[in-house]
Homo-oligomer: A and B are copies of this chain.
Amino acid sequence: MINKHQPASNPPPAGDVRGVTVSSPATVANVVCGFDILGFALNSPCDEFTLALSDEPGVQIINLDDFNLPTLAEKNVSGASLLALLDETPDVKGFTLYSKKQIKPGSGIGSSAASAAGPVVAANHLLGHRFSKQDLVRFAMFGEKVASGVKHADNIAPCIYGGVTLIRSIHPLDIISIEAPPLHVTVVHPQIEVRTSDARQILKQQVLLKDAIKQWGNIAGLVAGFIKGDYDLIGRSLEDFIIEPVRSILIPGFDEVKKNCKSAGALGGGISGSGPSIFMLSRDADTAKAVEVEMIAVYEKIGLAYQTHVTTINMEGVKIS
């Protein structure tokens, strides 16, 4: 399985047996009432990573995109994840990673999670699948820490597992796959910067018990709605009394986007991750497209640059190409 050092100047040719290429998806975390515990993977956009075993110790990173991300492994999200994996693979010297990101950093749809998760899934493939998905989440959390200072898993888990995932507990790590009916997702990324650390700082450390009760009623309803495939229940449960009222003020146009998208038929939605992207869930593709039209109208009116994605929930997570 161990192969020779991979020349670093160019990506390996397609079909090169010494490397593996993966597609690592964007993800939505903090799903409305599921702050810090619920996320799901998207079918697009996806990052592309090619990983090869190397005889040089550590992780060599070659960026094939224009994001100018750090190439020092310890400072790079993918690098830090792979270094954590290398700590538990004494028989492996190092890796060379070719990184071709499509998911904009800072968009709120799990750009750093895709960087953290894709390479460790690729590594596990090269190493004969010796690690469990939960191990891979654990390694990738070291990458998330580089990105946001916090070892959270709510983007990484759906990125690796696919579908909708619940992080019931972070210590100990307990990830549960939640079945869901077919769902269409529309995302708008207004091109402003909301730093995860700022979005976290603005939250109150204490919440009213009566609001917390409403929130856990809704998350219970949302999980039941997903597993039962009850679209109406999913829609009714997509309410957030705690995080959204505070964070949405950082996102221009949020209230109007939400109101207009629901009028256009969306089941509901909210802030993706810590923003600024906003996501909406719909029952069918036509509604998801109508929702996109509403999103575009709001940001055209405001005069703020934006990007949209109309996609579906990705059921398999990081995929070997």
Contacts and interface: CB of A to CB of B under 8 A. Distances in A.
A176 B214 CA distance: 15
Contacts of A176: 221, 224, 233
A208 interface: yes
A40 to B, nearest CB: 13
A34 interface: yes
Number of copies: 2
Chain B CB within 10 A, most for which of A213, A215, A220? A220
A51 interface: no
Interface stretch (A77-85, A94-102, A199-207, A255-263): A199-207
B223 A220 contact: yes
A212 to B, nearest CB: 4
A147 interface: no
A2 B151 CA distance: 67
A216 B33 contact: yes
A221 B227 CA distance: 12
The range of chain A's interface size is 35 or more
A166 interface: yes
Contacts of A213: 35-37
Given A168-B237, A207-B209, A212-B215, A174 B242 contact: no
Nearest to A166: B220
A208 to B, nearest CB: 6
Contact of A215 (B33, B34, B216, B233): B216
A217 interface: yes
A217 B207 CA distance: 16
A217 B37 contact: yes
Contacts of A209: 203-207, 242
9 contacts: A34-B220, A36-B217, A166-B220, A166-B221, A168-B237, A169-B217, A176-B233, A204-B209, A212-B216
Interface of A: 33-38, 166-169, 174, 176, 178, 203-210, 212-224, 227-228, 233, 236-237, 242
